[in-house]
Amino acid sequence: MKPVKRIKDILKSTAPEDSLLVRGWVRTRRDAKDFSFIELGDGSSVANLQLILPKGIIEADTFKDINTGTALEVEGELAPSQGKGQKWELLVKEIRVLGPAGPDYPLQKKRHTDEYLREIAHLRPRTNKYGALLRIRSEAAFAIHTFFRERGFYYVHTPIITGNDCEGAGELFQLITPGPGAACGLHPQAPLKTLAEDFFGKPASLTVSGQLEAEILAHGLTAVYTFGPTFRAENSNTPRHAAEFWMIEPEAAFMDLSGDMDLAEDMVKSVLTQITSGCTEDLELFDKFVSEGLLLRLEELKKKDYTRISYKEAIEILSSAEASFDFMPLYGSDLQTEHERYLTETHFQGPVFVYDYPKTIKPFYMRINDDNQTVAAMDLLVPRVGELIGGSQREERYDVLVSRMKELGLKPENYWWYLDLRRWGGTPHAGFGLGFERLLMLVTGIGNIRDVIPFPRTPGNLEF
Amino acid sequence: MKPVKRIKDILKSTAPEDSLLVRGWVRTRRDAKDFSFIELGDGSSVANLQLILPKGIIEADTFKDINTGTALEVEGELAPSQGKGQKWELLVKEIRVLGPAGPDYPLQKKRHTDEYLREIAHLRPRTNKYGALLRIRSEAAFAIHTFFRERGFYYVHTPIITGNDCEGAGELFQLITPGPGAACGLHPQAPLKTLAEDFFGKPASLTVSGQLEAEILAHGLTAVYTFGPTFRAENSNTPRHAAEFWMIEPEAAFMDLSGDMDLAEDMVKSVLTQITSGCTEDLELFDKFVSEGLLLRLEELKKKDYTRISYKEAIEILSSAEASFDFMPLYGSDLQTEHERYLTETHFQGPVFVYDYPKTIKPFYMRINDDNQTVAAMDLLVPRVGELIGGSQREERYDVLVSRMKELGLKPENYWWYLDLRRWGGTPHAGFGLGFERLLMLVTGIGNIRDVIPFPRTPGNLEF
């Protein structure tokens, strides 16, 4: 079975072809007197290839098998289309059914709800919408790799299984290895091996971030980034949270908070530019059926300067806003979703960096500013999605870091290697985390994280 | 702090520069009468930038801090070098110590053992060898993305946390979520939440392969590939096994076993071509210090046709070999490492695909051949590394798949969605898995998997 041309490329043909082999799945079939019209798709584009199938070249039995969902191999003549709506069509000479689909096929030609499609996540990649999403997802990943590579950032793999991250124990997935002979579907109350016998000889959990290890690598290679899965065992059912999601975490030596914001803004704009030029047809689908005005909004995100305000200014703006918030904007508290929306959607009507947060609401590793009250942290808030990026300059001063750890009740000896980075050849350095699924929600206008990841993991959902 | 030129690019300069800002770490310092010579590296290349530091432009106290490992920011004039070994050197006008390194810095200028460096994995990215490895690792990942993208394969993310894969329960890491208020370092014998209360409402483990889900996606997009972490809780301490490693798993509809082998061979050759042209200097280091003859061997791997033999032929060759094996080559048994080595290193002296294995030693999803005894499986064996790739054509016939499951004691209802792919629009399809770390061992000649991954996870090792 030799590879054949993809339909996306066939549709771009510049000349007819006498004999062309195509493979794909039937999207629709419409029967006329002497011909059947079949729309054939192979997942390479929203647009299908129209097949003209003359009556009589196939057996009735085979014909019966050609329904929405059927996999076909077709040979024919590629000719300029007589009909409207497409430039080319394929006049079928031979047709082979590779895998039929009966009338019970769950994806008939009609609009299905997102909820229904989540239940058949093994079939939804065959729909126009999820096909388009998956192509954009692939292109977005490549755009991210391209952006960082061109800037001299090296792609690194930080560990998934970790013995660190002791801070948020309640939000961690912990690991066990079943004893010898344990059956599949081990019940959590079944007897487990003792700690000493356990695989790693100490408690292990799934990473919530590769940052600490990325800092190690940035002190070798100057500039690195991760792109890998991260996990939260948070039992929250919201449209923006998943238990398993992919993060991109650049980290660079010799970079301060201002450089960190420059990098984040450049990255978002560069990635959007690559996606809007590489996935035009797919984005048009989302503009038309999912989020009206999407394309215009993406153009603005590519052009606009992103506003930068301190946390203090943000609180001032919110405090004097003529809006009724459920939560009062208070200096020293986290910004709530309603506050983020007000800043980005009402006040600035565009992306906003908020920087210099009170140290009381931020973790130990962020660099203390000269006021000794705030840290060099930044969040990038965007309309509709909220927090897209969170980053900071890291505390590079050994003594300051140690006293900050003690202040927060952390044991410095658990962070011996992290402190070593400050003992020898430490540098001012910074980085951020971008949630890949959040980026895709921004790019496609899809409102639920469950619909931008092929097989979402959320509380109670572990199918597929 | 504005980004500055990387040393790799400075060394390629075509003209002098009056004023150039550079940042990096001191590799060595050598003092002469009026000058000090400092080799400065920033992780962008094996070669360093030579700094000429006139005595007297800095305080004695600062000078004392400039040792191997110290982080510096330097301004000076880029001029043609007076010495040999480098084209350019930097005549220092200003120098700032960003992070000193005292004489207790663990990476002094001498050769360290791999074992020692594994214990200080937070510092080893600063060495020439691991810097080169990490740059090659990054370039190899990009080469893989480039290869598949150019061929119309979409990058997909299959889930890390899974409820499937019930077959090898003993080799799975299982997940638990601690109850509310559980402390970090939960002891596995501490009381756990009951199954019904657990996060997903059913047993969860870490994936050993994204294949089954990739098959879903290939039936939507025709051709996809994963690139993500996979896990084995196998308690084996060998130089080729890690508990956590990265895999690339392409999967394509309308592809048979022969196309699968074509794809694997093209991929290996294309990736090697991109790495050897993009990482020449780094590979030279490995050729010189780690594995003599490496560059020549890589050239051969790019040019040679890879031999293809059936498992039956492989057993015949091994049976008539004039070699004394610890394990007799027996039809119906797995090939042992010594057999793989004989085939690739002695008999064929190059890569070998072995295909059509007895079904008794292969999993349920591989396609049964017409002889009803063998399956359409293939392994790519390479000299020194052994099995680099394992793949197969998948069983697309619903009835054959169901009876194979029953034969093996699997419950078809646990695979309802996998079977659905065969109910509607099924296709002949195939794919393979490439161990990313195995590929890096092949490319660099490094003999231990612990030295091609930044923070290896093996039994008893969970530091960093």
**Which residue of A165, A176, A266 to mutate against B (max B Cβ within 10 Å)?**
A176
CA A443 to chain centre: 10
Which positions ≥6 away from A372 have C-beta within 8 Å? none
Return phi, psi of residue B226, to 5°.
Answer: -100, 160
- For residue B191, what pLDDT is reported? 45
- Residue A216 Rama label (left phi>0; alpha psi -120 to 50; beta): alpha
Alpha helices by DSSP H, listed for A90-175, are 114-119, 128-150
Q: How many residues does chain A have?
A: 464
- Give me B155's structure tokens: 């990058």
- B 400-459: CB under 8 A from A: 417-418, 420-428, 453-455, 457, 459
Whether the CB of A135 is below 8 Å from some CB of chain B: the reply is yes
Whether the CB of B203 is below 8 Å from some CB of chain A: the reply is yes
- B 26-45: CB under 8 A from A: 26, 42-44
Torsion angle, CA of A115/A121/A126/A131, rounded to 10 degrees?
Answer: 80
* Rounded-to-integer distance, Cα B342 and Cα B338, Å: 6
Chain B residues in contact with A376 (beta carbon < 8 A): none
Interchain CB distance below 8 Å, A123 and B420 = yes
Interchain CB distance below 8 Å, A220 and B421 = no
Interchain CB distance below 8 Å, A220 and B71 = no
Interchain CB distance below 8 Å, B421 and A149 = no
CA distance B330 to chain A (A): 28
3-state secondary structure string across A400-456: HHHHHHHHCCCCHHHHHHHHHHHHCCCCCEEEEEEEHHHHHHHHHCCCCHHHCCCCC
Interchain CB distance below 8 Å, B157 and A188 = no
Chain A residues in contact with B1 (beta carbon < 8 A): 254-256, 258-259, 428
Q: What is the largest CA-CA distance in chain B?
A: 85
Type and span of the H or E element at A277: helix A257-278
Per the listing, tokens 């004097």 go with A320
Chain B residues in contact with A214 (beta carbon < 8 A): none
Interchain CB distance below 8 Å, B152 and A44 = yes
- B 69-88: CB under 8 A from A: 69-71, 73
SS3 B208: coil
Interchain CB distance below 8 Å, A99 and B424 = yes
Whether the CB of B228 is below 8 Å from some CB of chain A: the reply is yes
Partners of A89 in the beta sheet? A50, A79
Chain A residues in contact with B421 (beta carbon < 8 A): 122
Alpha helices by DSSP H, listed for B11-75, are 60-65
Interchain CB distance below 8 Å, A156 and B426 = no
Q: What is the pLDDT of residues A128-139, one digit of tens each?
A: 999 999 999 999
Count how many pairs of residues, chain A against chain B, have C-beta atoms within 8 Å.
386
Partners of A135 in the beta sheet? none
| pLDDT < 50 regions, chain B | 169, 180-196
- For residue A90, what pLDDT is reported? 98
- For residue A252, what pLDDT is reported? 98
Exposure string (b/e) for A154-193, b if CB count within 10 Å is 16 or more? bbbbbbbbbbbbbeebbbbbbbbbbeeebebebebeeebb
Whether the CB of B201 is below 8 Å from some CB of chain A: the reply is yes
- For residue B61, what pLDDT is reported? 87
What is the number of other CB atoms lying within 10 angstroms of the CB of residue B266?
A: 12
Return phi, psi of residue B306, to 5°.
Answer: -85, 125
Return phi, psi of residue A332, to 5°.
Answer: 105, -5
Torsion angle, CA of A199/A204/A205/A206, rounded to 10 degrees?
Answer: -60
- By Cβ distance, the residue of A42, A163, A254 closest to B23 is A254
* Rounded-to-integer distance, Cα B446 and Cα B429, Å: 34
Partners of B51 in the beta sheet? B38, B90
Among B396, B321, B317, B303, residue whose Cα is nearest residue B354: B317
Q: Is the pLDDT at A14 greater than 80, yes or no? A: yes
- A 142-181: CB under 8 A from B: 142, 145, 149, 151-152, 154-164, 166-167, 169-170, 172-178, 180-181
Partners of A358 in the beta sheet? A374
- For residue A137, what pLDDT is reported? 98
CA distance A80 to chain B (A): 25
**Which residue of A44, A222, A274, A419 to mutate against B (max B Cβ within 10 Å)?**
A222
Rounded to whole angstroms, what are the CA distances from A58 to A51, A61, A427? Answer: 14, 8, 72
pLDDT band at A201 (very low <50, low <70, confident <90, very high): confident
- By Cβ distance, the residue of B106, B189, B229 closest to A228 is B229
Give the pLDDT mean for A183-196: 45
* Rounded-to-integer distance, Cα B300 and Cα A36, Å: 53
Burial of A413 (0-12, 13-18, 19+ CB in 10 A): exposed
Q: If you average pLDDT over every residue of chain A, what do you get?
A: 93
3-state secondary structure string across B310-334: EHHHHHHHHHCCCCCCCCCCCCCCC
Whether the CB of A141 is below 8 Å from some CB of chain B: the reply is yes
- For residue A181, what pLDDT is reported? 44
Chain B residues in contact with A23 (beta carbon < 8 A): 222, 253-254, 427
Type and span of the H or E element at B118: helix B114-119
Give the pLDDT mean for A185-209: 67
Return phi, psi of residue B206, to 5°.
Answer: -90, 140
Interchain CB distance below 8 Å, B42 and A235 = no
3-state secondary structure string across A192-251: CCCHHHCCCCCCCEECCCCHHHHHHHHHHHCEEEEEEEEECCCCCCCCCCCCEEEEEEEE
- By Cβ distance, the residue of A134, A182, A195 closest to B169 is A182
- For residue A187, what pLDDT is reported? 44
Q: Is the pLDDT at A183 greater than 60, yes or no? A: no
Chain A residues in contact with B164 (beta carbon < 8 A): 464
Chain A residues in contact with B141 (beta carbon < 8 A): 145, 155
Chain A residues in contact with B198 (beta carbon < 8 A): 188
Among B293, B275, B354, B362, residue whose Cα is nearest residue B318: B354
- By Cβ distance, the residue of B71, B170, B195 closest to A182 is B170
Among A245, A232, A172, residue whose Cα is nearest residue A205: A172
pLDDT band at A165 (very low <50, low <70, confident <90, very high): low
Whole-model pTM? 0.96
Q: What is the pLDDT of residues B2-47, one digit of tens each?
A: 999 999 999 999 999 999 999 999 999 999 999 999 999 999 999 9
Return phi, psi of residue B302, to 5°.
Answer: -80, -30
Give the pLDDT mean for A234-244: 91
- Give me A185's structure tokens: 């579907």
Lowest mean pLDDT among A67-76, A196-205, B395-404: A196-205
Q: Are A175 and A298 in contact (CB under 8 A)?
A: no
- For residue B188, what pLDDT is reported? 43
Identify the closest residue of chain A to B97 by CA–CA distance: A425
Give the pLDDT mean for A88-117: 94
- For residue B202, what pLDDT is reported? 82
* Rounded-to-integer distance, Cα B299 and Cα B280, Å: 12
